[in-house]
């Protein structure tokens, strides 16, 4: 799932397990464009570091 892929990548960047919490849910066949989610971590990274790191590791 998209959530699993994001958790895997963010866990790599944070060097600790990450659990992603979505702000809502989608049903099968429904897109999740602009879906908001959050996660908690002890890792300190600049916002750009999280974004660039995740984008470089996620599938296209």
The Cα 20–Cα 37 span in angstroms is 7
User: In the annotation, is 27 catalytic?
Assistant: yes
Q: Which helix (H) or strand (E) holds 49?
A: helix 47-57
DSSP state of 38: E
Q: Which of 4, 24, 25, 27 is catalytic?
A: 27
Residues that are catalytic: 27
């Amino acid at each position: 799932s998209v959530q699993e892929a994001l958790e895997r990548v963010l866990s790599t960047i944070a060097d600790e397990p990450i659990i992603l919490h979505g702000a809502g849910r989608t049903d099968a066949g429904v897109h999740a464009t602009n879906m908001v989610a959050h996660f908690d971590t002890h890792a300190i990274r600049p916002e750009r570091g999280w974004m660039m790191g995740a984008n470089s590791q996620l599938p296209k």
